[in-house]
Amino acid sequence: MSVTIEQDLKKYLTKFDQRFDRLEQKLEIINNRLTNLEVGQARLEEKVDDLEKDIESVKEDTKELKGSQKAQIWTLIGILGTALLGTVIRYIIIPFFLNHNNVQTMIYVII
């Protein structure tokens, strides 16, 4: 009777050992997968940080472009205003004075 109990116990212990071995293998696989996930998460965090920096850089560039665009618009308005004023003086005011005041010599000296 003790021999059969001993053999039964050996069978059960062998089965338990096999099951523990399989559990250890599965735990190792899970541990490896977890490590890979942690590495992947670290990479993603770095990429997100880089993207945040890029977004901030784009925001700053946009602000600079808006400011420079406003300055260019005002410069263009000034140039157009000066051109319009010069045209008015050349083709309206000067001929008006030439026809009405007989001061042709004085204006030709100025021009």
Provide the residue ranges of all domains of the chain, joining segments of one domain with +. Answer: 2-110
Q: Please, what is the average pLDDT of the chain?
A: 85
Least confident of 17-31, 43-57, 85-99: 85-99
pTM of the predicted model as reported, rounded to 2 decimal places = 0.50
pLDDT of residue 52: 95
Angle at 91 between CA 87 and CA 110, to 5 degrees: 90
Tokens 């039964």 locate to: 8
Mean pLDDT of 9-37: 93
- Helices and strands, counts by H and E, the chain: 3, 0
pLDDT tens by residue, 39-48? 999 999 999 9
Per-position b or e across 45-84, b if 16+ CB within 10 A of its CB: eeeeeeeeeeeeeeeeeeeeeeeeeeeeeeeeeeeeeeee
Least confident of 3-7, 34-38, 75-79, 83-87: 3-7
Cβ-contact 60, 69 below 8 angstroms: no
22 has a pLDDT exceeding 70: yes
